[in-house]
Structure 1
Amino acid sequence: MCFACWGLSSPAGKISRRDVMLRASALGLVLPLAAPALRTAQAAEQSAPADVVSGIKDIIAKASSPELVAFKPFEINGTDLPWTDLGLDAARGQQVTFLLGGRMWLSREHDLWFGPGLVFHARTRGLRPIYNPMLDTGTMTASQDGRIEVARSAAEWASEDGVLGTPEDIYKKADVKITGIALLWRGDARVGIKSLLAHGDVGGLLKSELARLERGGKLPAGWSNLLGFGGGQEIFSQGADGEIICDTTGHVSIIERPLSLPLASRPRLAWRWKIDQLPSVVPEDQAATHDYLSIGVKFEDGQDLTYIWSEHLPEGKVFRCPLPAWNPIETHMIVRSGKADLGTWQAQERDIAADYAAHIGGSAKAISKIWLLAVAPFQRRHGACRYADIKVTTGDNAVHKV
């Protein structure tokens, strides 16, 4: 989901309205005019970044917190190449909290943007793992001794080592400005944040991060974040009855679980889901409205097929992903349509091999992973659902619970 590859990002004032519309048409985008919202968003963008940094610095000065070892303001701009060394040394196991402001714009004219948490990434000493909070606050635990580095990526990593997959000339054209502050703690980040909160807050960031830490979110057992999409534990969680709960507003998460089975074994994916709120109020087959909740299968050839419940698109419709960078590898199928059954548990089953043969027809001989997807950054609406009894059954009646 290389959002920068849309070709819509451009420095403010460098692209005409006509150019935006032509680019949108070339990409098959349907972009609603949102000039009033745009003016409000731009005004907020101009004031918020300075408030985050200067406001938190004022609180730090008042608090004189013994838990705060060091802090470092930073700024990430479109022309900056990853990665940026913050000049902040952390010891393995030490916690660092990031408080973020700013936006990454896809089209200012049409109020299409991503919040800073979606595209912000950090790591220690140039080594994996890469941390992505997804929310606009987050706390990373240093995985080794060394310097803390930060970067921005809209799903543009080629590997877990943070190598850039997007060509540098395209990457540097992004219309983005992220400002933030890194807070390095002596002990538990929660204690440190409380010591600052006693002297104020900026836009609720400290309060939000404390609440996030105290929730202690964890991914469902056996699942992990897809490369480039962190923060899955803030969107997906394990319910008391074993179901997987998904709740998102304006964010993106894809989590995966390994499951290697040959297509020749005739695997069938079955699940139950209860969708309480769909994140799109319009058809999801356009890039600017591509917000959805889905369960999917990844194949050994790199292709994936996801099954979607849509309010507007008809059951049985199949389409390639409208995001250009994902179009060559991702296929979507509408398996349930309309609003009538929202809020109730519904059972689904798909013949994976038959769907792959009919709609992808690639070289894969096996499936490799099961995916759960929550995508809601474009319309920035709320989506909520639950999954239960996910399993893959092969032709010999062997059952693989997911």
Structure 2
Amino acid sequence: MTEPVRNAPSALPTMLRFAGRRLRHRLSGGAARTPVADFRSRVDSALASLAPAIAEVRWHRVPAGASHWHEAVVLPDGAQCTLITGGWLHVSRLLDVGLGAKSGLWYRVGDGEARKVRSATHTVHAAHGGRLDLMATLPGEFSTRRGDFGPDVPRARIGGAFDVAVVVWRAQARTDALSAADAALFCEATDDGDAAPPGWHYLWRLGEGRIYDAGDAGEMACCTHADVGILQHPVDVPLDADLALTWQWQATRLPSELPEHTEPTHDYLSIAVEFDNGLDLTYMWSAALPVDTIFQCPLSWWKERETHWVIRNDPAELGQWLTERRSILADYRRAIGGSDPARVVGVWLIANSVFQRGVGECRYRDIRLSGADGDLTVPVQPDSGQAP
């Protein structure tokens, strides 16, 4: 059996460059955070002006790394509850590696699934009431949709905490109250309605976000900033030598300036195919790795499942629409090896900027799986009319 290609450069130079940049950033004062007392004072002041619309306010400190969920409040059926979050989770204080609420604060209501907030101010709509629980943890560490931890998914050692104001609104009072509120503080997301464009869904393991948007021009827009999300579209296509993934994309900004094959620099934009054996192969833009670099994902849990293939790295091509065609089975055999899977079961769009907290922007269009039996178009707009 032919061994799969693994040709990424040594991680050590990249790690040293990353550490040097983060230390310089820290010494220049770039790692300063808003003091907890100042954050709470600002929130309390804003909420005082909204008192007639508020049924209850509770403050909670939700520490990182806990093994059990934190009980916040019990919500009645139909309640609207806004979470206003400050604070930070620290992966490394020295190197200023960490994440904010939209990447690390999770909630669940009653018997519902664990969900990640979509912004630092997030409103929960509890159609069916129950206990609202909170958890501060890295994306990807749950073993179940309910938010349980297990030995199959390792957990990183992290510190820090989130300070969360849990605001329960009086019936139908939230919208009118917020129209006169602190605009920056109440730049909120809500969980009423789909986070993902029609036909797509966010990978539950990483949580929902505000990263992707399907526009009217048949394009899927992606903007990631200090967050992570995988948008998935289910398909069911036999994998044979004829099957190809074709698409067009336009990357305008990459979330990393360093090679992306180490854990703290693994911020990138890509498109992937998922196979029926649970593995995926992802085609990525790179800021610094050579084209045709192939490497295993450097992240825990993912390293057993995901393989990366660099197909673009020329900064002169940023801002241009580029057309791609990949022979999936041939690429699988070169990059992953072993027994061939039988089917392709998903197309993914991946955006990660959580480690270095940069910005990544790109657009996708005309995504197709083309084989001997014809083309399957993966829709990127609500009215595409294409079969999923």
Regarding TM over 0.5, the answer is: yes
Distance 1:333 1:143 in 2: 43
One-letter identity of the residue aligned with 1:255? L
Q: Is the 8 A contact 1:30 1:286 kept in 2?
A: no
User: How many Å apart are 1:153 and its aligned residue?
Assistant: 2.5
Distance 2:149 2:371 in 1: 38
Distance 2:16 2:141 in 1: 21
What does residue 71 of structure 1 align with? 57
Relative to structure 1, the CA distance from residue 92 to residue 254 in structure 2 (aligned partners, 3 Å threshold; closer, same or farther) is farther
What does residue 108 of structure 1 align with? 93
Q: Is the 8 A contact 2:200 2:231 kept in 1?
A: yes
User: How many Å apart are 1:346 and its aligned residue?
Assistant: 0.7
Distance 2:293 2:252 in 1: 22
Distance 2:237 2:161 in 1: 44
Matches within 5 A, 1:367-382: 367-382=344-359
Structure 1 residue 44 corresponds to structure 2 residue 33 = yes
Relative to structure 1, the CA distance from residue 261 to residue 322 in structure 2 (aligned partners, 3 Å threshold; closer, same or farther) is same
Task: Calculate the aligned-residue CA RMSD, in Å.
Answer: 2.7
One-letter identity of the residue aligned with 2:128? Q
Distance 2:249 2:156 in 1: 41
Distance 1:172 1:277 in 2: 29
Relative to structure 1, the CA distance from residue 319 to residue 71 in structure 2 (aligned partners, 3 Å threshold; closer, same or farther) is same
Percent identical among aligned pairs is 30
User: How many Å apart are 1:137 and its aligned residue?
Assistant: 2.0
Aligned partner (choices 269, 272, 275) of residue 245 of structure 2: 269
Aligned partner (choices 126, 136, 158) of residue 142 of structure 1: 126
Aligned partner (choices 132, 138, 145) of residue 116 of structure 2: 132
Q: Is the 8 A contact 1:124 1:143 kept in 2?
A: no
Structure 1 residue 397 corresponds to structure 2 residue 377 = no
Distance 1:172 1:248 in 2: 23
Higher mean C-alpha deviation, range 28-37 or range 244-253: 28-37
Relative to structure 1, the CA distance from residue 116 to residue 166 in structure 2 (aligned partners, 3 Å threshold; closer, same or farther) is farther
Structure 1 residue 165 corresponds to structure 2 residue 142 = no
User: How many Å apart are 1:28 and its aligned residue?
Assistant: 6.8
User: How many Å apart are 1:291 and its aligned residue?
Assistant: 0.9
TM-score by length of 2: 0.85
Q: Is the 8 A contact 1:79 1:174 kept in 2?
A: yes
What does residue 82 of structure 1 align with? 68
Distance 1:141 1:167 in 2: 32
Q: Deviations over 1:344-382 (max 9, x none)?
A: 111101111221122112453222211101101122111
Q: Is the 8 A contact 2:195 2:208 kept in 1?
A: no
Relative to structure 1, the CA distance from residue 167 to residue 331 in structure 2 (aligned partners, 3 Å threshold; closer, same or farther) is closer
User: How many Å apart are 1:270 and its aligned residue?
Assistant: 0.7
Distance 2:156 2:197 in 1: 36
Distance 1:300 1:318 in 2: 21
Q: Deviations over 1:178-225 (max 9, x none)?
A: 111111222263323235x1xx57xx322x22xx56x98852210111
- Which ranges in structure 2 are unaligned for 5 or more consecutive residues? 1-10, 380-388
What does residue 357 of structure 1 align with? 333
Higher mean C-alpha deviation, range 49-58 or range 108-117: 49-58
Aligned partner (choices 227, 250, 263) of residue 251 of structure 1: 227
Structure 1 residue 320 corresponds to structure 2 residue 296 = yes
Relative to structure 1, the CA distance from residue 114 to residue 255 in structure 2 (aligned partners, 3 Å threshold; closer, same or farther) is same
Distance 1:148 1:385 in 2: 36
Distance 2:156 2:282 in 1: 31
What does residue 17 of structure 1 align with? none
Q: Is the 8 A contact 2:65 2:137 kept in 1?
A: no
The structure that is helix-richer by fraction is 1
Distance 2:137 2:128 in 1: 22
Higher mean C-alpha deviation, range 384-393 or range 143-152: 143-152
- Which ranges in structure 1 are unaligned for 5 or more consecutive residues? 1-23
Distance 1:172 1:305 in 2: 25
Q: Is the 8 A contact 2:59 2:163 kept in 1?
A: yes
What does residue 5 of structure 2 align with? none
DSSP-derived class of the 2:175 partner: helix
DSSP-derived class of the 1:205 partner: coil
Q: Is the 8 A contact 1:265 1:396 kept in 2?
A: no
User: How many Å apart are 1:173 and its aligned residue?
Assistant: 4.1
One-letter identity of the residue aligned with 2:196? L
